[in-house]
Structure formats: structure tokens, C-alpha cells
């Protein structure tokens, strides 16, 4: 009996190890599904699939928010596909903001490496958690919760942000309300804003309706 149990356990261990893959480098030529990209053939994988150099330089902050976020998600960095991680770089010029937004698919860790950032998030109970972060400080934003960042320094601020998913997703609250064709009457009713304010915000963000 003991020999039988040992033999079955041994087979179970072998079969479980046989099903484990070291990695699943994303095949960016294939469409991305809910579980990520399909795996590139191992014979086509190179060391460059595991290296990303796109965060060396600052992003272009010449925009409405005066901020830039450079991402190393699975779509840009196929080596993280299937690993449950990704990273980004946030560059904030003076008087810049990263507007209220959410990542439906991941929690986020923000590490300030230069300057100072006023960061915060709002819980599902509408409690506000707000902190001025300085160089070396880290803050976590739980998955799916609205959060934001404001440059609190006189000069440029920089942060590196890691996520618990290779494709965390992104939705800006302001863009969801004012940068599409959602009818203005509905926006007014659901936000309690007057028609003139909604019209002005849609004009700024390119919305219609």
C-alpha cells in the first residue's frame, strides 16, 4: 500500500512539474484576450523580450495635464505577459496633474524618485486617503479605486509605478464623462452640473453630444 501511495505521489509531482512553464512571452502579432497574449514560440524568444529600455527618458509633458506616463505593459514589454506584473514611469512638470482615474485590472505601487507628489485615492465607502509623498516614499492604490497625483514640487517630479497585472487597464473619470458622445443632458443629470459647465468641459476634452 505504501509503495502504491508513493508511486502515485511521484507521478503527481512529475505531471505537475511538466505543466509548469518558465514564461509566456507575449506574441504581439496575435490579439490580446482576457488572459493576455498567447505565447510566442520558445524558439523565437530572445533576451530582448525580457528587457525594456523605454523608461530611460522622460515622457512628453507638453499636453493639457503637463504630465506623461510611459508604460511597460505587455503590449510594449512582452516579457511580462502572464507574470502578473508591469511597470510605468510618470513624469510631472511644474503645476501638472494626473487626473482622477482607475485601473480595473490591477493594484498599483507608486515610488517617488524625484520631487514631491500629492497623491491620494477614494475608497468604495468614499473615504479619502491623501498624502504628500517625497523622494523615496511609496504609496499603494488598491485595485479599481479612483486615484490621482499632483506635482507638489516647484520643479519636475518623477515616479515609477508598478502594477499587479501585465495589462492593468486605465479609465480617466473626466474622459469617461466629457471626452466622448455621452449626451450632455445625461451628464448634467448624473453629475448635477449645469449645461454651461458640461459644454465647457466637453469643449476642452473633445467630447460631443
DSSP 98-131: EEEEE-TT--EEEEEEESEEEEEEE-TT--EEEE
103 annotated ligand binder: yes
- Any known ligand binding at 17? no
DSSP state of 6: H
Is 147 marked as a binding-site residue? Answer: yes
Query: Which grid coordinates belong to 174?
Result: 473626466
Q: Is 101 annotated as a binding residue?
A: yes
Rounded CA gap, 16 and 1, in Å? 23
* Residue 159: other Cβ atoms inside 10 A: 26
Q: Which residues are annotated as a binding site?
A: 101, 103, 108, 147
Q: Which residues are annotated as a binding site for Mn(2+)?
A: 101, 103, 108, 147
Q: Which residues are annotated as a binding site for oxalate?
A: 103, 108
Amino acid at each position: 500500500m505504501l509503495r502504491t501511495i508513493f508511486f502515485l505521489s511521484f507521478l503527481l509531482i512529475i505531471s505537475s512539474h511538466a505543466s509548469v512553464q518558465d514564461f509566456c512571452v507575449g506574441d504581439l502579432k496575435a490579439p490580446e484576450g482576457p488572459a493576455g497574449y498567447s505565447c510566442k514560440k520558445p524558439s523565437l524568444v530572445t533576451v530582448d523580450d525580457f528587457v525594456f529600455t523605454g523608461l530611460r527618458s522622460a515622457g512628453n509633458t507638453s499636453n493639457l495635464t503637463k504630465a506623461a506616463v510611459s508604460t511597460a505593459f505587455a503590449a510594449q514589454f512582452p516579457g511580462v505577459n502572464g507574470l502578473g506584473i508591469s511597470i510605468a514611469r510618470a513624469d510631472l512638470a511644474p503645476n501638472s496633474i494626473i487626473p482622477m482615474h482607475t485601473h480595473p485590472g490591477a493594484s498599483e505601487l507608486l515610488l517617488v524618485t524625484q520631487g514631491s507628489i500629492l497623491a491620494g485615492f477614494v475608497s468604495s465607502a468614499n473615504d479619502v486617503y491623501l498624502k504628500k509623498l517625497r523622494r523615496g516614499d511609496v504609496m499603494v492604490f488598491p485595485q479599481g479605486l479612483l486615484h490621482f497625483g499632483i506635482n507638489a514640487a516647484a520643479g519636475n517630479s518623477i515616479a515609477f509605478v508598478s502594477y499587479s497585472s501585465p495589462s492593468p487597464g486605465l479609465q480617466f473619470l473626466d474622459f469617461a464623462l466629457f471626452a466622448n458622445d455621452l449626451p450632455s443632458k445625461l451628464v448634467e443629470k448624473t453629475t448635477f452640473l449645469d449645461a454651461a459647465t458640461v459644454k465647457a468641459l466637453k469643449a476642452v476634452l473633445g467630447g460631443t453630444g
